[in-house]
Amino acid sequence: MKAWVALGLASAAVVIIGTQTVTACGDKFLMVGRGVRFQRAYAAIHPASILLVLPQKPAKSAAILDSRLRSALKMAGHHIDLVEQPANLGDILRRSSYDIVLADQDEATAIGALAADARSKPSVLGLDHHAAPPPEVLKRLDDVMNSRLDASHRAVASGG
């Protein structure tokens, strides 16, 4: 009898020590400290090469100057270059290949004329003075990249 009690206690000890908490799919992400932050979870569908043109007359509310925007772009997987002197922007656009040029709304029209002469024909996006939340800017960039890819697919399909 003592052997059976000892065997039962040993079996119970093994079962208690060897158990693990079983959680359903996704529940492990809801535990404290284990969640995935949105900023780290977002990745661009089509990573772009982006040129950020800093405004000639910096304003405190310029969206281009927002460091959160730059960090969000980098975390999403985009390649970012900054240019501080728009005077030589035409040369930079002719030498390098960019998909998108982000600029202040007031300067976007003039930059668009320079971008038309660039070899990569980048899309120019103007950001208004009020800082747009980075998720909105990232969505706009995805839309621009999708339209650029659609246009290149149509050009290939039509033979041009």
Say if 97 falls within a structural domain: yes
CA distance 28 to 155: 47
CATH number at residue 109: 3.40.50.2300
- Looking at residue 24, its pLDDT comes to 63
Among the ranges given (9-13, 20-24, 98-102, 153-157), the one the predictor scored with the smallest mean pLDDT: 20-24
Say if 14 falls within a structural domain: no
- Looking at residue 37, its pLDDT comes to 55
Say if 154 falls within a structural domain: yes
Considering the entire predicted model, what is its pTM?
A: 0.68
Element (H, E) at 101: strand 100-104
Say if 4 falls within a structural domain: no
Q: Tally the domains of the chain.
A: 1
Say if 55 falls within a structural domain: yes
**Has residue 34 got a pLDDT over 60?**
no
Partners of 101 in the β-ladder: 51, 124
CB 49 within 8 A of CB 77: no
Say if 81 falls within a structural domain: yes
Where in the sequence is the domain holding 105, given as residue range(s)? 44-158
Say if 24 falls within a structural domain: no
Secondary structure class of 54 (helix, strand, coil): coil
Q: What is the pLDDT of residues 59-93, one digit of tens each?
A: 665 677 788 888 888 988 999 998 876 678 888 88
Read off the tokens for 98.
Answer: 């960019």
- Looking at residue 79, its pLDDT comes to 93
Say if 80 falls within a structural domain: yes
